[in-house]
Amino acid sequence: MLGGRATPLDFAPGLGEQKLDDIQGGCMCGAIRYAATARPANSMVCHCQSCRRVAASPVVAWVTFAKSEFRYTRGTPLVYESSPKVQRRFCGACGSPLSYEHVDTADFVDVTTCSLDAPWAFPPTHHSWLSHDIGWVKFGDGLPTFERSRFGDPS
């Protein structure tokens, strides 16, 4: 966007009419699709080492849905256990990271914000796991930061 900040509508004409039951996303190749029927309960950017390695990216943005409001609508993602209590799902065809589930928060599923069709719809409210940050990405967004998880749980 030359000459100014982009607004959500620059990217998503008609977003204002988006209904809650239209929250959808999927992997890059389209083999896996998902839908949510309620707004995410949380939206954040994670700087932890586990997210960084699994996505090969400096940080990973996540939205959290109640599991009862989230479902895969096409295809079945593969599962990788990144730690004994954590299942991360991804597309077996194109590799897009899609979701994170922890046994201690079994009612919720974290979904990669940037796999949403409209990732601008739910901007993050904070950054977590700054204790793992690699140091060369500077956000300057003024959002609260946390050395570990905002909720004190492990990665």
DSSP 34-93: EEESS--SEEEEE--HHHHHHHTSS-EEEEEEEGGGEEEEES--EEEEEETTEEEEE-TT
Alpha-carbon dihedral angle through residues 48, 78, 23, 146, given to the nearest 10 degrees: -10
Tell me the per-residue interface mask from 18 to 57 with Zn ion, x by CB under 5 A, - otherwise. ---------x-x-x--------------x-x--x------
Of 9 and 29, the one with the shorter C-beta distance to Zn ion is 29
Residues 57-76 that bind Zn ion (CB under 5 A): none
Contact 60, 44 (CB under 8 A): no
Q: Pick the binder of Zn ion from 94, 106, 137, 143 (CB under 5 A).
A: 94
Residues 97-136 that bind Zn ion (CB under 5 A): none
Q: Pick the binder of Zn ion from 23, 55, 91, 121 (CB under 5 A).
A: 91
| Burial class of 57 by CB neighbour count within 10 A (0 to 12, 13 to 18, 19+) | middle
Of 7 and 43, the one with the shorter C-beta distance to Zn ion is 43
Q: In the bound complex, what is the minimum distance in angstroms from residue 148's beta carbon to Zn ion? A: 10
Residues of this chain that interact with Zn ion (CB under 5 A) are 27, 29, 31, 46, 48, 51, 91, 93-94, 155
